[in-house]
Amino acid sequence: MVCQNCGSNEVIAVQGENFCINCGQLVQKTPVVSAVSTDGLPAGVKILPVDGEEAPKTTKKAKLGRPKAGRLDVPAAATKRIVGEVTGPPPSQTPPPLPKPIHDIAPPPPKPIREPDNRPLPPVIRRASVAYSEILGASIAGRFTHHRSFMTIVPAALVAMVATVAGVVLASGQPHRLVSATVDAGWAVGGELIIIAVIYYLVRSLSHAAITFGSARLSDHRPLPTERWLEVAADSQGRRLGIDVLASLGLLVMLALMAGLFVSGSHLSGLPEVAQIAILMLGFGVLLYASVAITMTVSLGHIAVTLAQVHTVSGLKLGWRLFRRHFELAGARLTALSLETLGLIAVLVGAGGWLIVSPANLRPLVIGAVGVVLAAIGALAGAGTAIWWGNAYRALVQVDHPAGFHRLLSTAVPKAARVTPVIVISGVLLGLSALAVAWPWLVN
């Protein structure tokens, strides 16, 4: 067998087909014989006239003799021949199909078996929660370390002093004497209480801010000396004062609305009792929520202006956004406050019993000892409150603002934090203390 393409006789058979080893083309099994017409040309080929010339006409010679008669048993229409022009080559002249490539000749590869996907589903991403129990535990343990409670001893001593005097008067069985003595003294007692309240506010604000800043630095393993804590607290005192002024105005508005709602309850007598109770409960509920929101926002704002060194309005906005997304913060804070209150009540009951059973000659010493105990308890409570709010702020920022974590918890010492604010505030406190001591003589 010879390849009709290259004339080579090297032919190989693959799956019933013959292929040329030389050129790789398909080799026909039988040679192709082209049909030849009567005029000597291949079948289906005709000579066309040149442009401008007419095709030669062939004349048919007439045959002599009598014409043949047609068959009588066949219809005349069937004897007619339909002469048509062959427009294409005969079937034998159809070009052979192109040979198949080798990859088409080979058997197709087996389809991969799809195995069932038994991989575990990805975990559902849930919103991170705040571990308030850890915050409470850290606030309890932190107040006994790094001398944090000593920073709140001054405001706690002021509160203990006032509470001790009031307790002695109440324990005497004549509580009306305290009210009457205060009213009769007029500005001599009222002014003294106002000065003490101002001193308490400044010292408490400074001590809480210093403890918050120092605790944050310790949590980041970047401790600083205690005097740096006070410098940062003094530097942000003005921003905290602005927050407290705005919060005080808001709480005064809430109190005024509550009083107005209480007074206006008498104008609802025309409504059914159920409607009156529903309206009053709804109104007081809304006002109570607003008051709690203001308190929580202010506490978070204090931490923001201390740790992130933001402005007053920015600190309030950040505190409101954090509380709005975590209303459970109010319940967590109420729980911590209830535990501290229960401990304080237990101490007060014990101190009262000790005062009652003590001899009369030792009662002044017992009163002094009770005052010291109350001051220590107040200092521990103040330090714990500062640590609790600092840890709560850090946890809320980590959950809600992971992108701005480093900015909102930078705890960087500002360049403006110098000794000057500390000296100024210390001078103000010394002046107020001297004024408190000299106030009774100045009034009289």
Residue 103 reports pLDDT greater than 70: no
Please report the pLDDT score of residue 20 as a whole number.
82
Residue 85 reports pLDDT greater than 60: no
Q: Which pTM value belongs to this model?
A: 0.64
Radius of gyration of the chain (CA): 53
Q: How far is CA 105 from CA 8, 10, 99, 102, 368, in A?
A: 22, 19, 10, 5, 109
**Beta pairing partners, 26:** 19
418 CB-side CA count, 13 A: 4
- Three-state SS for 255-312 is HHHHHHHHHHHHHHCCCCHHHHHHHHHHHHHHHHHHHHHHHHHHHHHHHHHHHCCCCH
Mean pLDDT of 176-180: 67
Please report the pLDDT score of residue 270 as a whole number.
73
Please report the pLDDT score of residue 256 as a whole number.
93
Residue 128 reports pLDDT greater than 80: no
142 touches 215 (CB < 8 A) = yes
Please report the pLDDT score of residue 126 as a whole number.
47
Residue 104 reports pLDDT greater than 80: no
Confidence tier at 302 by pLDDT (50, 70, 90): very high
Q: Residues 205, 210, 215, 217: is their CA dihedral positive or negative?
A: positive
273's tokens: 């009792």
Q: Side chain identity at 7, as an amino acid letter?
A: G
Mean pLDDT of 33-52: 60
Name the more confident of 96 and 231.
231
Residue 125 reports pLDDT greater than 50: no
Residue 284 reports pLDDT greater than 60: yes
The pLDDT tens digits for 50-61 are 555 555 555 555
Confidence tier at 441 by pLDDT (50, 70, 90): confident
Domain residue limits, the chain: 1-32, 132-443
Residue 283 reports pLDDT greater than 50: yes
Name the more confident of 148 and 13.
13
Please choose, from the candidates 38, 37, 21, 20, the residue with its C-alpha nearest in 3D space to the C-alpha of residue 29: 20
Confidence tier at 99 by pLDDT (50, 70, 90): low
Lowest mean per-residue pLDDT among 52-56, 145-149, 251-255: 52-56
Lowest mean per-residue pLDDT among 26-30, 159-163, 301-305, 318-322: 26-30
Please report the pLDDT score of residue 248 as a whole number.
94
Name the more confident of 440 and 215.
215
In the three-class reduction of DSSP (H, G, I as helix; E, B as strand; rest coil), residue 122 is classed as coil
Lookup result for tokens 């403006």: 416
Q: Burial of 221 by CB count in 10 Å (0-12 exposed, 13-18 middle, 19+ buried)?
A: exposed
* Per-residue buried b or exposed e for 228-266, using 16+ beta carbons within 10 Å of the residue's own CB: bbbbbbbbbbebbebbbebbeebeeebeebeeebeeeee
Strand duo 11-14 + 26-27: pairing: unpaired
Q: Side chain identity at 163, as an amino acid letter?
A: A
What percent of the chain is modeled with pLDDT above 70? Answer: 70
Mean pLDDT of 14-20: 80
36 touches 89 (CB < 8 A) = no
Confidence tier at 271 by pLDDT (50, 70, 90): confident
Please report the pLDDT score of residue 124 as a whole number.
43
Mean pLDDT of 41-48: 64
Mean pLDDT of 104-121: 63
Lowest mean per-residue pLDDT among 49-58, 310-319, 343-352: 49-58
Mean pLDDT, all residues of the chain: 77
Mean pLDDT of 216-222: 83
Q: Residues 200, 206, 212, 218: is their CA dihedral positive or negative?
A: negative
Q: Side chain identity at 396, as an amino acid letter?
A: L
396 touches 380 (CB < 8 A) = no
Confidence tier at 64 by pLDDT (50, 70, 90): low
The values of phi and psi at residue 17, to 5°, are -115, 150
Confidence tier at 303 by pLDDT (50, 70, 90): very high
The pLDDT tens digits for 385-433 are 999 998 899 888 888 877 766 777 776 666 655 677 878 888 888 898 8
Mean pLDDT of 189-206: 88
Please report the pLDDT score of residue 278 as a whole number.
87
Cα 75 to Cα 69: distance, rounded to the nearest angstrom: 13
Confidence tier at 298 by pLDDT (50, 70, 90): very high
Mean pLDDT of 328-348: 88
The residue length of the chain stands at: 444
Name the more confident of 287 and 14.
287
Please report the pLDDT score of residue 257 as a whole number.
92
Confidence tier at 190 by pLDDT (50, 70, 90): confident
Residue 108 reports pLDDT greater than 80: no
Cα 310 to Cα 411: distance, rounded to the nearest angstrom: 11
CA of residue 290 relative to chain centroid, distance: 24
Name the more confident of 312 and 269.
312
